[in-house]
């Protein structure tokens, strides 16, 4: 079996006929010029060391060198080899809240962007682990199935926004149940879900039930809270400029606050931990140590 990487360079062999035609033309021109200068016997006397073979030898050497260079550019490969590459890692699913409350700017630039940057930093820290991404608001939708392609993960991560789901709300239980379907490998010993949210939940009882179902499947749910407990209004922008702030049915400005209690309850239901997502370095250090302690599956 053989393989040619860059066959386009074969066209460079067209230089060889040009080179030979040029050599013959120059040789013929030299002979005619010498004939007008003197006769052949006299020229042999004037240039006794003149070689008729060396110019032709140079042409052959240049032609061979050019041919070898062209073949090197084509990069032919021959033979086959099979190699088994072993990788060890953990399956990780990131469930990211994209509800309107994540637009609050109590942490710069806003909660959603902070969550996305945090996930991106975690991806930079991973090596052989497989990752998946879920977006959720009033419902949960898969964004990226389990994969080792971190570049694709970052691309899908950047595409997340609060307008991608028409139904608004925060159904963390739907995100947990959907995340459980991502782990399709029964032999996978460590299954991890990271929920990034401000903790506002519209179905708290269902969320704890979903966390307990995940725990029964061997899934650990780490929760990362973004935002402040003091809270912030939800800006409604047009072309990057704040037009107004979201109001409730009583025409009062809505103040959204980080609800750490819900997130802590979810994490404790699966023997995991709640982390302050506002502190990126603390999260990275914790996750790095936690993953080191986990048993890795060989892929």
CATH number, domain with residue 142: 3.40.50.410
Residues 97 and 150 in one domain: yes
| The domain boundary residue, chosen from 45, 78, 111 | 78
Q: Is residue 47 part of a domain?
A: yes
| The domain boundary residue, chosen from 52, 78, 104 | 78
Angstrom distance (rounded) from CA 41 to CA 44:
5
Residues 141 and 168 in one domain: yes
Mean pLDDT for all residues in the chain? 86
Average pLDDT over residues 164-190: 81
Give the three-class secondary structure for 86: coil
Residues 114 and 49 in one domain: no
Q: Is residue 281 part of a domain?
A: yes
Q: Is residue 155 part of a domain?
A: yes
Contact of 176 with 149, CB cutoff 8 Å: no
Contact of 191 with 217, CB cutoff 8 Å: yes
Residues 143 and 37 in one domain: no
Instruction: List pLDDT tens digits, range 31-71.
Output: 777 777 666 676 666 666 667 778 788 889 998 999 999 99
Backbone angles phi, psi at 107, to 5 degrees: -135, 130
Higher-scoring residue by pLDDT: 53, 130: 130
In the chain, which ranges are E strands?
Answer: 2-4, 76-78, 88-89, 91-97, 130-136, 140-147, 191-197, 219-225, 232-233, 235-238, 241-245, 255-256, 274-276, 297-298
Residues 167 and 195 in one domain: yes
Average pLDDT over residues 148-153: 92
Residue 250 has pLDDT above 90, yes or no: no
Residue (of 62, 161, 174) closest to 116 by Cα position? 161
Instruction: List pLDDT tens digits, range 74-116.
Output: 888 887 777 877 777 888 999 999 998 899 998 989 999 999 9
pLDDT of residue 222: 96
Q: Is residue 154 part of a domain?
A: yes
Residues 228 and 99 in one domain: yes
Percent residues over pLDDT 70 in the chain: 90
Counted domains in the chain: 2
Residues 144 and 225 in one domain: yes
pLDDT of residue 202: 65
Average pLDDT over residues 161-166: 85
Residues 107 and 183 in one domain: yes
| Strand-by-strand arrangement of the 191-197 sheet | 140-147, 130-136, 91-97, 191-197, 219-225, 274-276
Q: Is residue 83 part of a domain?
A: no
Q: pTM (2 decimals)?
A: 0.69
Residues 152 and 68 in one domain: no
In 159-228, which ranges are E strands?
Answer: 191-197, 219-225
Q: Is residue 290 part of a domain?
A: yes
Which residue segment(s) compose the domain that 215 sits in? 88-298
Residues 42 and 103 in one domain: no
What the block records as the tokens of 185 is 């490998």
| The domain boundary residue, chosen from 23, 48, 78 | 78
Q: Is residue 146 part of a domain?
A: yes
Residues 69 and 122 in one domain: no
Residues 61 and 96 in one domain: no
């Amino acid at each position: 079996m053989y393989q040619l990487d860059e066959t386009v360079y074969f066209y460079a062999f067209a230089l060889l006929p040009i080179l030979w035609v040029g050599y013959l033309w120059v040789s013929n021109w030299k002979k005619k010029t010498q004939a007008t200068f003197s006769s052949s016997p006299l020229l042999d006397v004037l240039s006794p060391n003149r070689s008729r073979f060396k110019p032709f030898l140079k042409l052959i050497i240049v032609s061979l060198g050019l041919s070898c260079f062209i073949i090197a550019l084509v990069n032919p490969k021959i033979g086959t080899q099979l190699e088994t590459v072993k990788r060890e890692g953990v399956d990780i699913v990131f469930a990211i809240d994209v509800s309107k409350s994540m637009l609050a700017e109590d942490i710069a630039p806003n909660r959603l962007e902070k969550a996305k940057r945090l996930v991106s930093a975690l991806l930079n820290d991973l090596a052989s682990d497989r990752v998946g991404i879920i977006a959720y608001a009033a419902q949960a939708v898969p964004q990226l199935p389990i994969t080792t392609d971190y570049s694709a993960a970052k691309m899908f991560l950047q595409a997340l926004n609060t307008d991608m789901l028409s139904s608004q709300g925060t159904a963390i239980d739907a995100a947990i149940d959907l995340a459980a379907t991502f782990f399709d490998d029964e032999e996978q010993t460590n299954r991890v879900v990271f929920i990034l949210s401000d903790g506002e939940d519209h179905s708290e009882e269902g969320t704890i039930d979903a966390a307990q179902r995940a725990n029964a499947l061997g899934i650990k749910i780490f929760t990362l809270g973004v935002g402040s407990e003091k809270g912030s209004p939800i800006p409604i922008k047009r072309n990057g400029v704040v037009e107004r702030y979201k109001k409730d049915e009583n025409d009062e400005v809505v103040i959204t606050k980080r609800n750490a209690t819900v997130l802590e309850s979810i994490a404790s239901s699966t023997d995991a931990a709640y982390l302050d997502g506002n502190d990126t370095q603390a999260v990275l250090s914790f996750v790095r140590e936690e993953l080191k302690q986990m048993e890795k599956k060989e892929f």
